[in-house]
Structure 1
Amino acid sequence: MKGIILAGGSGTRLYPITQAISKQITPVYDKPMIYYPLSTLMLAGIRDILIISTPQDLPTFERLLGSGNQFGLNLAYSVQEEPRGLAEAILIGESFIAGEKCALILGDNLFYGYGFGSILKRACTLSEGATIFGYFVKNPNSYGVVEFDTDGQVLSLEEKPEKPKSNYAIPGLYFYDETAVKKAHEIEPSPRGELEITSLNQKYLEEGSLRCKNLGRGMSWFDTGTHDALLEAANFVQTIQHRQGLMISSPEEIAHGQGWITDAELKTQIDRLGKTRYADNLRDILEGVYHV
């Protein structure tokens, strides 16, 4: 399965922070924001990943992440000239996907919770159709909303409805079979001129192959698109890491745990990171000591 991170957009809700840098480069506690969606794909076992961003921001991601070899990954990069909708990421990545299944994650989404890696790996095993996720929120009218039955069969999809049919928002993480590119070519732009991800998911719903996995109370999800949400996410990561001594969304740790990089390669990354708490945490992992 191939992975795509959509890290474009202008980030206007975070102005003035994002007037000079990409939203997905801004820090969430001790890591650039893009580390979090990157880590999600890595936890799913995905190693071939395409990063899509704006012409002005893409070189920054290339400088930060390079080929991905330091994480045991194969990274590629593509430009989205203008923000023309989330589903356009599938079209931009058509040659990269090359007829395989794919996972799409938005560059400002952070997930954390026990067993999340197992949930992701199961989503990767889909033989046909698509998998989306539901997350219970108190203000569903601010999100895309999914209505589903007890078997996880999706009944309806709504985009920021005035009267939501459920309290389950749809986070920015989607798993698709090999027909995703074909379906993306078939959808029409919305009234705002964008290829909506809801329209792509609707295609799967209409053929009866869209499944929803409910992320329960043990899971945390942050859409870090506002100043308050960015601060909440950073405080959450800081609290967990300090109390448990376990890192959240460290690509180096995940790569080492998956066997994608050796002890020696991890040590090289630790040395490169210098005298930082982040490096100290990785050193603890290398030495088998899990404390901060």
Structure 2
Amino acid sequence: MKGIVLAGGSGTRLGPLTVSTSKQLLPVYDKPMIYYPLSALMLAGIRQVEIITTPRDEADFRKLLGDGSQLGMKLSYVVQTAPRGIADAFILCRDFIGDSPVTLILGDNLFYGHGLSELLHQSVSGSIAGATIFSYHVNNPRRYGVVSVDKSGRATALVEKPQMPKSNLAVTGLYVYDNTVVDRVRVLSPSARNELEITDLNKLYLQDGSLRVVPLGRGVAWLDTGTAQSLLEASEFVRSLQRRQGLQIACIEEIAYRQGWIGSADLDRAAKSFESCDYGKYLDRLPRVSE
């Protein structure tokens, strides 16, 4: 399984914050936004990840994350010269995907909750057939792509930002696909806003009965951080939990260490590089296992 983080776009809803930098490099409390979607892929056990960025921001992402070797991962980068829709990711990353299944996550999405790691592992492990989307009950479904399901939990309809929603189940920014996605995306036509829509791609799987819906329950938080208000709310959420629990959310070095991708010496180096801030002090306090 390979992973893609979609961190392109212009972030106009967050202007003027995004005039000179990528939305996904803005802070969500004490970490860059991209740490959160990247950590979700890591929790799923995905070690090969391609990051979609813009010509302006590629160098900054490379400076922040490098080639991923410090995390025991392989990170690569591809440039999207203009916003062409979420589904365009599978055209841009076709060479990276190769013959593998792939998980796509939007760069402004934050997932957190008990049992999330196990749920993600189950969704991406084994033989991947068809597509998997993750649904979340929301109060205002008009803002989202909405999925309707029958009594057995099987998807029956997908509608993008419906005026009269038939369901309160929003489709989150996390998607798992088998390798047929690289061919399916090529038959899509641009929408009225001249983009390849992820909902249209998912409908192709729905039509042939290969779309699976995994509900995220009440114990899971899903936040997107695409507006100033939602960015602040996400920061407050992270701050509150970290202060109460004393545990970091989306600490990518800790995740890599617990996954067995890096050793104690690597964790020590990371702690040293951030020694002047709470993040580095947290890494330094983490218990090491005998190697």
Normalising by structure 2, report the TM-score: 0.97
Q: Contact 2:274/2:281 (CA < 8 Å) preserved in 1?
A: no
Distance 2:153 2:184 in 1: 22
Q: Contact 2:128/2:177 (CA < 8 Å) preserved in 1?
A: no
1:114-193 counterparts in 2 under 5 A? 114-125=114-125, 126-193=127-194
Is 1:28 matched up with 2:33?
A: no
Please state whether the residue corresponding to 2:164 is helix, strand or coil.
Answer: coil
- 1:66 is matched by which residue type in structure 2? G
CA RMSD of aligned residues (A): 1.0
Q: Where does residue 222 of structure 2 map in the other structure? A: 221
Distance 1:51 1:14 in 2: 20
Q: Contact 1:263/1:286 (CA < 8 Å) preserved in 2?
A: no
1:4-153 counterparts in 2 under 5 A? 4-125=4-125, 126-153=127-154
Please state whether the residue corresponding to 2:86 is helix, strand or coil.
Answer: coil
Distance 1:284 1:149 in 2: 48
Cα deviation digits, residues 2-31 of structure 1 (max 9, x gap): 100000111011111111100000000110
Q: Where does residue 264 of structure 1 map in the other structure? A: 265
Moved more, 270-279 or 42-51: 270-279
- 2:86 is matched by which residue type in structure 1? L
Q: Contact 1:144/1:169 (CA < 8 Å) preserved in 2?
A: yes
Q: Which runs of 4+ in 1 moved over 2 A?
A: 149-152
Give the superposition deviation at 1:151. 2.8
Give the superposition deviation at 1:128. 0.6
Please state whether the residue corresponding to 2:49 is helix, strand or coil.
Answer: strand
Q: Contact 1:130/1:210 (CA < 8 Å) preserved in 2?
A: yes
Distance 1:282 1:21 in 2: 27
Give the superposition deviation at 1:287. 5.2
1:252-291 counterparts in 2 under 5 A? 252-286=253-287
Give the superposition deviation at 1:108. 0.3
Q: Where does residue 2 of structure 2 map in the other structure? A: 2
- 1:118 is matched by which residue type in structure 2? E
Please state whether the residue corresponding to 2:172 is helix, strand or coil.
Answer: coil
Distance 1:172 1:190 in 2: 19
Distance 2:2 2:137 in 1: 28
Alignment gaps of 5+ in structure 1 = none
Give the superposition deviation at 1:280. 1.1
Q: Percent identity?
A: 53
Cα deviation digits, residues 102-151 of structure 1 (max 9, x gap): 00000000000000011111110353100001101100001110111233
- 2:112 is matched by which residue type in structure 1? Y
Please state whether the residue corresponding to 1:87 is helix, strand or coil.
Answer: helix
- 1:88 is matched by which residue type in structure 2? D
Q: Contact 2:5/2:49 (CA < 8 Å) preserved in 1?
A: yes
Give the superposition deviation at 1:286. 3.4
Distance 2:114 2:153 in 1: 20
Distance 1:63 1:113 in 2: 30
Please state whether the residue corresponding to 2:100 is helix, strand or coil.
Answer: coil
Distance 1:50 1:152 in 2: 32
Normalising by structure 1, report the TM-score: 0.97
Distance 1:150 1:270 in 2: 49
Distance 1:244 1:150 in 2: 38
Is 1:206 matched up with 2:242?
A: no
Give the superposition deviation at 1:274. 2.1
Cα deviation digits, residues 36-87 of structure 1 (max 9, x gap): 0000000000000000011111111011100101111100100111000000
Distance 2:153 2:33 in 1: 30
Q: Contact 1:141/1:160 (CA < 8 Å) preserved in 2?
A: yes
Distance 1:102 1:134 in 2: 18
Corresponding pairs, count = 288
Distance 1:62 1:152 in 2: 41
